[in-house]
Amino acid sequence: MSINNYEKIPGESAEELYENAPCGYLSFVGDGTVVKINKTLLSWLNYEKEEVLFVKKIQSILSIGGRIFFETHFFPLIRMQGFVKEINFDLVRKDKSPLPVLLNVNEVAGPEGNQKVYRATIFDITDRKKYEKELMAARKKAEGAASAKAEFLATISHEIRTPLNAVIGIANLIQKTPLNDQQKEYARILKLSSDGLLGLVNDILDFSKIEKGKIKLEEKSFVLKDVVHMVVSTLAVKAGEKNIDLQLDMDSNLPATLLGDPLKLNQILTNLIGNAIKFTREGFVKLVISLLEKEGSKALLQFRVIDTGIGIPEDKLEAIFEEFSQASYEINLGYGGTGLGLTISQKLLQLHGSHMEVASESGKGSEFSFSISYKISGEKPKAEVEENPAIYRRKLESAKVLVVDDTPVNITIILEYLKEWNVACKSAGNGVEALELVSGNEFDLILMDLQMPEMNGYEATEAIRRLDLTKQPAIIALSASARGDISEKLRISGFNDYVPKPFDPADLYKVLISHIGNIENEAKQDFSVALSQEEPESKEGDRLAELIAEPFDLSYYVKVTKKKEASLEEILFKTIKAFEEYKDQFSAAIDEKDTGKLAGLVHKSKMTIHYIQAKKLDKVVQEARELVDNEENDAELIEEKLKELQTEFQVVIEGLKSVRVNDLISKSN
């Protein structure tokens, strides 16, 4: 035996190995002509050598799709980098049946100098392709099932919303009728349960929207404090009922105004804090907001919700984020809930490019945290000054409202509320009736249901907008399906706003006052009348103010908010914001000597200035207006007055900012 003997075993020359390899070998030149091909490949394709060699081009044994792919992707790539690995193609046999293969190609120098030869190694992947196809089919089936489930849930929830509307409305109304103690208790449970049911339905709808990818992030300017305050003040009530301390700790260097989606942030915070309160029996729930980093116009904010509640066992920390799951069956029994809140929050955070983290100890408490990077907004959002309710009550009383809905019980409910607020109202059962009534009567506002027979809400609104009326009413949609911003469809039809069904009377009230209040009817609304009717109450405030010579007096606010800390905080914040806005707007109007703009501002700000008894500010505003109205006055005088005005605004603003609500409340006791 010697090595040499084994070198030359018959059947193992390089040539023979090439021809009989377990893979196919193929070589072609620049224009695709095949210059070499091995036996294996020929047998796979069912061709004789003479049929292929120097006769066929590689393109001709590719499927059409492959041919196009070859010309547009494959060949350029080889030309660029000299090789291509593992590309899946379908070769075409002599009988036109497909052969799925994996192609590896190398560019090598040809026998004649300049020319390149492309050497391909080909693997038969028929089996692999088959398995791939089966896997894909199975996956599609599973995805289809999941999406069918979400679709089903959404449909059911939608259907439930309509009768739910009636239940909640009636539950609210019953509580306002005379009841004995037992009935009061029943009514309370009824309201609680129906509100809970509404929460569940809304959660399900939200969840299915997210699953379908229908939720998008808004990008608008918002004031962080406002959003946080709204959440905290809403949940403070629940916390108070359980005697849990709800705390807020906001970093002092947080940017004031951000660009982002305030609704989603509100939703996530409400979910977390609501959960925290729910699962805490005693102690506190704290929201901590800190600025992690700030770079240029971007800020990374961290939100943490910490509680001293029952905690979550370690093995359940992941499961709580799954849909419909809660930490345990007992939790569900003991605490209720849908098990969707955290899932939704997590998915919303994912939209923000963030995620939720949780740390917890059973029996001790939990901490949920997340960070979001927001752009810092240069703009200030539109000022929404919530003026004194009494003034708006008066506006409502002089307003005429039309309610259009094809469900009699819905009309009854709405009319009940409207009657309670002393609003003059009429009703119609469908779009056609509504149109008749609108043509013959003047209305300030119409509440319009969307789904109605004969003529639906959209059609009716479009028709009303086409009428030639002395005054077009504000039209508000009553919608069971819209959540979030008013949809494009409503806007196009001519709606001004919408109230989601089922609605809270507070929602309805808010929408009414914001749209009836916007009607510029200077002749009708006589503010001086309103002012004089408020005088008796504020005379005390007057005296007090004179004694202390404060730039403003908040006793009216204290009274109106019924000494509730959270409400006072909120109204103070809104006032401060409004004044900051006014200061800029007044400055601009005076600079431009725009009498019209100035008059409008004076009118707008009069009420708030009056309610906080900012007498000096009031005086300076009047003086500034007189100066500008009288066109002869010289620029220096106006400049001076403007400075005085800005200073006084600043004094008021700083003063308001430094108010400690607790002190204010205790002082007034």
Partner 1 sequence: MSAIKRNNVRVSGKGNQPIMFAHGYGCDQNMWRFIYPAFEDNYKIVLFDHVGAGNSDETAYSTAKYNSLDGYVSDILEICTELGLQDVIFVGHSVSAIMGVLAAGREPERFQNLILIGPSPRYINGDGYIGGFNPEDIEGLMEALDSNYLGWSANMAPVIMGNPDRPELGEELTNSFCRTNPEIAKQFARVTFLSDNRKDLAVVETPSLILQCSEDVIAPREVGEYVCRNLKNSTFYLMKATGHCPNLSAPEETIQAIEDYLAGVLL
Interacting residues toward partner 1 by CB under 8 A: 30-32, 59, 63-69, 71-73, 75-77, 79-83, 85-90, 133, 136
Candidates 206, 239, 377; CA nearest to 299 is 377
Tokens 């494009």 belong to: 488
In whole angstroms, how close is the CB of 536 to partner 1 at the nearest point? 60
Q: State both tokens at 268.
A: 């996530």
Pairing of strands 445-449, 400-404: parallel
Cβ contacts of 94 within 8 Å, gap of 6 or more:
45, 46, 47, 51
CB-nearer residue toward partner 1: 102 or 197: 102
Report which secondary-structure segment, H or E, holds 460.
helix 457-466
In whole angstroms, how close is the CB of 569 to partner 1 at the nearest point? 40
CB-nearer residue toward partner 1: 70 or 458: 70
Tokens 């409004």 belong to: 578
CB-nearer residue toward partner 1: 100 or 311: 100
CB atoms within 10 A of CB 335: 13
CB atoms within 10 A of CB 96: 7
In whole angstroms, how close is the CB of 353 to partner 1 at the nearest point? 12
Tell me how far the alpha carbon of residue 195 is from its chain's centroid.
Answer: 22
In whole angstroms, how close is the CB of 245 to partner 1 at the nearest point? 44
368, burial (CB in 10 Å: exposed 0-12, middle 13-18, buried 19+): buried
In whole angstroms, how close is the CB of 140 to partner 1 at the nearest point? 11
Residues 229 and 573: beta-carbon distance below 8 Å: yes
In whole angstroms, how close is the CB of 350 to partner 1 at the nearest point? 16
CB-nearer residue toward partner 1: 71 or 282: 71
Q: By three-state DSSP, how is residue 441 classified? A: coil
Cα–Cα dist 493/499, whole Å: 16
Q: State both tokens at 417.
A: 């509320």
DSSP bridge partners of 88: 102
Phi-psi region of 423 (alpha: psi -120 to 50; beta: other; left: phi over 0): beta
Tell me how far the alpha carbon of residue 123 is from its chain's centroid.
Answer: 51
In whole angstroms, how close is the CB of 555 to partner 1 at the nearest point? 53
Rounded to the nearest 5°, which phi and psi values hold at 318? -85, -35
In whole angstroms, how close is the CB of 137 to partner 1 at the nearest point? 10
Cβ contacts of 337 within 8 Å, gap of 6 or more:
278, 326
CB-nearer residue toward partner 1: 136 or 192: 136
CB-nearer residue toward partner 1: 30 or 655: 30
CB-nearer residue toward partner 1: 59 or 162: 59
CB-nearer residue toward partner 1: 64 or 292: 64
Cα–Cα dist 640/253, whole Å: 34
CB-nearer residue toward partner 1: 17 or 217: 217
Q: Which long-range contacts (CB under 8 A, 24 or more apart) does 485-491 make?
A: 485/218, 489/458, 490/458
In whole angstroms, how close is the CB of 87 to partner 1 at the nearest point? 5
CB-nearer residue toward partner 1: 88 or 266: 88
Cβ contacts of 32 within 8 Å, gap of 6 or more:
57, 58, 59
Cα–Cα dist 355/123, whole Å: 44
CB-nearer residue toward partner 1: 76 or 389: 76
Phi-psi region of 490 (alpha: psi -120 to 50; beta: other; left: phi over 0): alpha
Cα–Cα dist 367/459, whole Å: 51
Q: By three-state DSSP, how is residue 659 classified? A: coil
In whole angstroms, how close is the CB of 298 to partner 1 at the nearest point? 17
Q: Angle CA(295)–CA(297)–CA(301) in degrees, nearest 5? A: 65
CB-nearer residue toward partner 1: 59 or 221: 59
In whole angstroms, how close is the CB of 122 to partner 1 at the nearest point? 15
In whole angstroms, how close is the CB of 25 to partner 1 at the nearest point? 20
In whole angstroms, how close is the CB of 368 to partner 1 at the nearest point? 29
In whole angstroms, how close is the CB of 91 to partner 1 at the nearest point? 12
CB-nearer residue toward partner 1: 183 or 297: 297
CB-nearer residue toward partner 1: 89 or 611: 89
The secondary structure of 594-639 as a DSSP string is: -HHHHHHHHHHHHHHHHHTT-HHHHHHHHHHHHHHHSTTS-HHHHH
CB-nearer residue toward partner 1: 81 or 252: 81
Q: State both tokens at 316.
A: 């359940």
Residues 365 and 283: beta-carbon distance below 8 Å: yes
CB-nearer residue toward partner 1: 147 or 422: 147
Q: By three-state DSSP, how is residue 274 classified? A: helix
Residues 437 and 444: beta-carbon distance below 8 Å: no
CB atoms within 10 A of CB 105: 23
What is the Cα gyration radius of the chain?
A: 37
In whole angstroms, how close is the CB of 487 to partner 1 at the nearest point? 18
Q: By three-state DSSP, how is residue 373 classified? A: strand
